């Protein structure tokens, strides 16, 4: 079972026309059924082990908290290792934990904190599996149908959610929570078989893997220098905070407001999932008609109204429409956030970008579950739900101040045309630090557009791993400008240049258009011998420490209008005559 998304050929009409996506989707659907049945069992078992609303609300929080803690590390793992193998390891671990959970419950040894511990372990495996699974979708389908594939994944989960909780309620009512845990353990087997058979045809890795710490910093740096992704994370975090209450407090609504039992809880969970399926099915049509911002804002309003309805309901027939509306808003917003992140990051860093999105969104949900569980304990479930609805309404209004950008316009595929330069001085991959300078000849009348283009250049350089970026103007030759940056090693320099995308060419072409006609920028690579990794101790004590401090210390009062713009540990020094 192989897959190679052919970007050049005509894109399939649907992700389900691709065999590997179809097989994994159905196997994941079965696994999602098991996971949701397990969630119902865990949530309802907690109501029998403890009457505390806080402990009950911590059951979903124990699943989402590991996503906040481990996602970035998991994203670095998924970007450096074969994602299929990462998913197989996670599924096997979840099978083992689910089997132990079932055995403990069956033996009657379960306590509230032991239940939270097992749930936390399952959440850890889910957190590690998530970035690999989300990023692997791009390995199965062409980029053109990636949004549809992500929406179908959301639909699959919520299709299971529309029936799984009700089925879970039946299983718990008939055979107890331990039977629900056994069902979950068995549900992992099909996905393990499909993943074991899948043989993705991935492009060969020409460079060695990054160390995980370096890879995590690179992911953080990329997102920090990507305005579109940062805005998505801001909106997702606030949305997740308000969205947490509707699911975290669902057992309390079923028990206290509706006066029901495990079956009522399953029916309300099913209504939420059914609404989510309707939202996923409508997402493709909505994307063709409305902007990303309009979809997310409408979804947040739908979730706010649905949450308020559940708080106002003492009858099941009133609560079910509220849960359906909340479910539709939930999946529309989260799938749109997910697609926005994946379409805004190139393949080399997509798992880390998705991981950071999950960290923020599910971290907000974990915090919201704790917050609204505490409010429910202090002032009641109704107050907690109304408060969550108000937070979600604020999240919708935030779009008026920080609207989400449209996605899919940038070609983030690597250009693949950069050639490693020959050097007169022998270098090895670990040689460094490497200092790079690019000399530009800019006419006097083009300085303003040049500075604007270099501002974008600075963002691109830092996004792709450069440090210490500077822009300098020569005092002896007025048309000579020098861009300067450094990287830790020669291998980092190669990585930095191989990360260049087709979308970055617009900036390079703008610089070429400004450059003096008939000349090209001059690129020079230098190695810093004073701080070279293989050097012996410097013979002059204290010299290295002194030189670590910047030698460019300019005052704003000095002539020529010199200025220094500080951003973190990076300086942009522009000299104006």
Task: State residue 303's pLDDT score.
Answer: 94
| Mean pLDDT score of the chain | 82
> Contact, 249 vs 385, CB < 8 A?
yes
Q: What is the pLDDT averaged over residues 21-50? A: 85
Task: State residue 535's pLDDT score.
Answer: 40
Task: State residue 530's pLDDT score.
Answer: 62
Is 164 or 124 the better-scoring residue by pLDDT? Answer: 124
Q: For residue range 141-166, what is the model confidence (pLDDT) as tens digits?
A: 887 777 778 777 777 776 776 677 67
Distance CA 68, CA 130 (A): 12
> Contact, 351 vs 318, CB < 8 A?
no
Task: State residue 558's pLDDT score.
Answer: 32
Q: For residue range 207-234, what is the model confidence (pLDDT) as tens digits?
A: 778 888 889 999 999 999 999 999 999 9
Q: What is the pLDDT averaged over residues 510-530? A: 87
Task: State residue 533's pLDDT score.
Answer: 54
Distance CA 414, CA 178 (A): 50
Residue 392: pLDDT over 80: yes
Distance CA 118, CA 564 (A): 53
Distance CA 432, CA 427 (A): 8
Q: For residue range 89-112, what is the model confidence (pLDDT) as tens digits?
A: 999 999 999 999 999 988 888 888
> Contact, 337 vs 232, CB < 8 A?
yes
Residue 472: pLDDT over 90: yes
Task: State residue 532's pLDDT score.
Answer: 57
Is 529 or 8 the better-scoring residue by pLDDT? Answer: 529
Q: What is the 3-state secondary structure of 366-410?
A: HHHHHHHHHHHHHHCHHHHHHHHHHHHHHHHHHHHHCCCCCCCCC
Q: Is the pTM of this model over 0.95?
A: no
Task: State residue 408's pLDDT score.
Answer: 65
């Amino acid at each position: 079972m192989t897959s190679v998304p052919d970007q050049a050929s005509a894109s399939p009409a649907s992700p389900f026309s691709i065999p590997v996506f179809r097989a994994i989707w159905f196997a994941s659907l079965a696994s999602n059924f098991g996971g949701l049945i397990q969630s119902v069992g865990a949530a309802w078992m907690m109501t029998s082990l403890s009457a505390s609303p806080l402990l009950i609300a911590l059951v979903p929080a124990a699943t989402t908290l590991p996503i906040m803690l481990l996602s970035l590390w998991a994203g670095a793992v998924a970007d450096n290792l074969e994602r299929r193998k990462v998913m197989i390891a996670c599924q096997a671990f979840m099978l083992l934990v689910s089997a132990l959970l079932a055995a403990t419950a069956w033996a009657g040894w379960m306590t509230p904190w032991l239940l939270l511990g097992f749930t936390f372990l399952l959440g850890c495996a889910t957190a590690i599996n998530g970035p690999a699974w989300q990023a692997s979708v791009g390995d199965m389908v062409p980029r053109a149908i990636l949004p549809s594939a992500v929406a179908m994944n959301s639909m699959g989960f919520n299709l299971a959610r529309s029936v799984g909780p009700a089925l879970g309620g039946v299983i718990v009512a008939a055979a107890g929570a331990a039977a629900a845990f056994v069902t979950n353990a068995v549900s992992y087997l099909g996905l393990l078989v499909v993943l074991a058979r899948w043989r993705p045809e991935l492009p060969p890795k020409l460079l060695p893997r990054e160390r995980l710490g370096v890879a995590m910093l690179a992911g953080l740096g990329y997102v920090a220098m990507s305005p579109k992704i940062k805005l998505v994370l801001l909106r997702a975090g606030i949305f997740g905070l308000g969205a947490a209450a509707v699911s975290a407090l669902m057992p309390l609504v079923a028990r206290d407001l509706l006066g029901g039992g495990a079956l009522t809880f399953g029916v309300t969970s099913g209504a939420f999932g059914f609404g989510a399926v309707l939202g996923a099915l409508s997402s493709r049509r909505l994307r063709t008609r409305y902007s990303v911002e309009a979809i997310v804002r409408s979804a947040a309003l739908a979730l706010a109204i649905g949450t308020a309805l559940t708080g106002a309901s003492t009858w099941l027939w009133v609560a079910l429409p509220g849960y359906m509306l909340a479910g539709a808003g939930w999946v529309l917003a989260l799938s749109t956030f997910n697609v926005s992140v994946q379409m805004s990051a190139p393949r080399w860093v997509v798992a880390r970008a998705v991981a950071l999105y999950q960290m923020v969104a599910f971290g907000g949900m974990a915090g919201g579950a704790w917050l609204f569980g505490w409010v429910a304990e202090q002032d009641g479930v109704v107050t907690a739900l109304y408060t969550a609805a108000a937070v979600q309404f604020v999240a919708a209004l935030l779009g008026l101040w920080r609207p989400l950008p449209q996605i899919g316009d940038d070609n983030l595929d690597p250009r693949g045309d950069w050639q490693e330069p020959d050097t007169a001085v022998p270098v090895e991959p670990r040689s460094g630090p490497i200092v790079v300078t690019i000399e530009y000849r800019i006419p006097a009348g083009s300085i303003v557009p040049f500075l604007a283009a270099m501002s974008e250049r600075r963002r691109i350089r830092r996004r792709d791993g450069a440090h210490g970026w500077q822009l300098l103007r020569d005092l002896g030759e007025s048309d000579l400008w020098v861009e300067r940056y450094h990287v830790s090693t020669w291998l980092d320099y190669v990585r930095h240049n191989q990360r260049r995308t087709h979308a970055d060419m617009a900036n390079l072409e703008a610089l070429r258009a400004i450059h003096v006609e008939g000349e090209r920028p001059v690129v020079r690579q230098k190695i810093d011998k004073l701080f070279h990794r293989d050097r012996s101790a410097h013979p002059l004590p204290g010299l290295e420490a002194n030189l670590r401090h910047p030698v460019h210390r300019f005052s704003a009062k000095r002539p020529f209008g010199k200025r220094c713009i500080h951003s973190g540990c990076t300086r942009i020094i522009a000299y104006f005559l």
